[in-house]
Every structure is written in structure tokens, then in C-alpha cells.
């Protein structure tokens, strides 16, 4: 349930003092108090979820970028070792078979895949801060 849904639900449930009978004013105050408390807890939980989502996604993205950098180094090292061992054993392998990865292309691919969701996550996270 989103904040707009909750506000609509809260707006649709109008209670009049005539419906409550006896201690109408006290009951109305109690209902308003409970409604405010539920609304406050709902906003706290939603803010916590936004915070967790943004931090988890950004942390995961940076970890993925670091893992990609490590992978590029390890891959290029193994290709170089393979070429050296092939040369030592006098095995003729065409140079086209030995392609090195560039971190720039891997980073570009990762950011193209996760850049749009990152913008959405950051916009969703700051939506609450801007609306207040």
C-alpha cells in the first residue's frame, strides 16, 4: 500500500460524531490519534525500506565494479601466461586468439545495464526527502 493509497483510504473513512453515540469527542480524538500513529509508523517503515534499497543497490553496484576489475586483471594475466607457455613449447597459435579485455569496455557494459535502475533507485530514495 503506497502513501497515496493510505491517504485515500484515510480520506474515505469519514466518521461523524452522530455515528459514535455517547462520548463522541473522546472517541473521535482516539481515532485521530491512532490514525496519526499508524500514518507515522507507515512513513518510518517506508523511509527505512527506501534507505535499505538505495544502500543495497549502490553497494552491490560498487562491489560488482570491483569484481569486474579483478576479473579483467586475472583474465588478462591468464591469457598472457597461455601465450608465454605456448611460445616456450613452440606451439604456433595465431595472435588473434589472444584477446585482452579492457576494463573500460567491461565497466561500460556494467553501467549500461545497471545505470537506469540506479537512476530510478536514487530518484525513489530522494523522493521522500524532497516531498518533505
pLDDT at res. 98: 80
Asked whether residue 65 carries a pLDDT value surpassing 80, the answer given is: yes
pLDDT at res. 95: 78
The pTM of the full predicted model, rounded to 2 decimals, is: 0.60
Sign of CA dihedral 84, 90, 93, 95: positive
- How confident is the model over 67-105, as pLDDT tens digits? 999 999 999 999 999 888 988 988 888 877 788 999 999
Q: Which phi and psi (to 5°) does residue 14 adopt?
A: -80, 125
Amino acid at each position: 500500500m503506497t502513501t497515496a493509497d493510505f491517504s485515500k483510504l484515510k480520506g474515505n473513512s469519514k466518521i461523524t460524531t452522530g455515528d459514535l453515540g455517547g462520548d463522541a469527542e473522546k472517541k473521535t480524538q482516539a481515532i485521530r490519534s491512532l490514525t496519526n500513529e499508524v500514518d507515522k509508523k507507515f512513513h518510518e517503515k517506508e523511509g527505512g525500506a527506501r534507505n535499505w534499497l538505495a544502500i543495497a543497490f549502490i553497494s552491490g553496484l560498487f562491489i560488482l565494479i570491483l569484481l569486474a576489475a579483478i576479473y579483467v586483471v586475472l583474465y588478462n594475466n591468464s591469457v598472457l601466461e597461455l601465450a608465454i607457455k605456448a611460445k616456450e613449447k613452440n606451439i604456433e597459435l595465431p595472435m588473434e586468439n589472444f584477446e585482452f579485455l579492457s576494463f573500460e569496455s567491461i565497466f561500460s557494459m556494467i553501467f549500461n545495464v545497471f545505470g537506469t535502475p540506479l537512476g530510478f533507485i536514487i530518484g525513489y530514495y530522494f523522493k521522500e526527502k524532497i516531498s518533505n
